[in-house]
Amino acid sequence: MATSRPLTGLKILEFAGLAPGPFAGMLLSDAGASVIRVDRASATTTTTTGTPPPPTPDFLARGKASIAVDLKSPACLPLIRRLATHADVLIDPFRPGVLEKLGLGPAELTTANPRLVYARLTGFRRDGRYAAMAGHDINYLAVSGVLAMLGRADSPPHAPLNLVADFAGGGLALVHGVLLALLARATSGRGQVVEANMADGASYIATFPRLALGTPLADRPRGQNTLDGGCPWYDAYETRDGKYVSVGALEPQFFAALLQGLGLQDRGLERDRANRAAWPAMRALFARTFAAKTRSEWEAVFDGTDACCVPILDYEELRSDPQREGDQRHFVTLRDTPCFEFDPLPRRRWPGL
């Protein structure tokens, strides 16, 4: 059995940016890579009171070392070039052309270090109509077609925090590309440029719902389909104590278990599952029924069953109750290799540097 994590020995140079880039660096660090984050520093940057601004909180900095560099100062650029010659991966989170203007683009750095994987992450397509524009998660979702599918029927489209484009379609997609490039380097001996953007990443994440459009699963406007809030047995319901439960009883046998737990098994609801005209009345019935008991009382009913009904927990509950299994674990493990570790202390330097 291996004793070190899969990416141990790899050196990552991460330029500080907004959440998606740091998330990619954190994932690589968790898997054993040594990450140096290049923070921005400028002697001329001050607040309105004339004092230097406080550091920007970075919730995704675990396991990383960091240096502060004024990239606008020519005197600082040789340090970046030296670090890049020792790096296995460079993470560029900037808009197209920013590092190229500094002489730190892929042409220069991969010439000096042919094994370098130069990973670039933008919001919009690098060659598209929005390439030069600022944006955030909601904007990338908007132009990808994903945002139009999200939200209730009686409200505007709604972005689920910044999870889909920033993290799933951005940082996680970039790491996917980095790992593919490292795998290719193992046989070719050469690194390459990895291009990722959050608009295409979000679209790729949404492959299933996009292909489902026009099928019975999603043939109605937003908010009127099975998985988007239109279906009464795939939704959230408030309980008597103001808390919530989630219901996802899609299959007939799970729906039957749900009705059994709710005490509605004799109401003939099974025959109305496919009748969308009956959905509003069924939803109202479910809402009244769930509102009659507290969330803990419904947990006692549904725990251990196949009704697909579990409590909606907040992070405070997860932190305060060990029985809620709220300890953070990684989303994948390898049976024979230590895979991920949440290291609270940064590795202070790269091996051999």
Q: What's the number of CA atoms in the CB half-sphere (13 Å) around residue 35?
A: 28
Measured distance CA(79)–CA(303) in Å, rounded: 58
Measured distance CA(159)–CA(203) in Å, rounded: 14
> Known catalytic residue: 321?
no
Helices (H), the chain: 20-30, 77-86, 98-101, 106-112, 137-144, 172-188, 198-205, 207-212, 252-262, 279-290, 295-302, 315-320
Cα–Cα distance list, 75 to 78, 100, 163 (Å): 7, 17, 38
Which contacts (CB < 8 Å, 24+ apart) does range 271-278 have?
273/233, 276/220, 276/224, 276/230
Q: Which of 30, 88, 92, 166 is catalytic?
A: 166
Q: Assess contact for 116 and 89: CB atoms under 8 A.
A: yes
Measured distance CA(234)–CA(214) in Å, rounded: 19
Measured distance CA(301)–CA(162) in Å, rounded: 34
What single string gives the DSSP state of each residue in 25-45? Answer: HHHHHHTT-EEEEEEE--TT-
Measured distance CA(238)–CA(312) in Å, rounded: 10
Measured distance CA(343)–CA(27) in Å, rounded: 11
Measured distance CA(21)–CA(92) in Å, rounded: 8
Measured distance CA(138)–CA(8) in Å, rounded: 35
Could you tell me whether strands 11-15 and 34-40 are parallel, antiparallel, or unpaired per DSSP bridges? parallel
Q: What's the number of CA atoms in the CB half-sphere (13 Å) around residue 158?
A: 11
Q: Report phi then psi at 24, rounded to 5.
A: -60, -45
Catalytic residues: 166
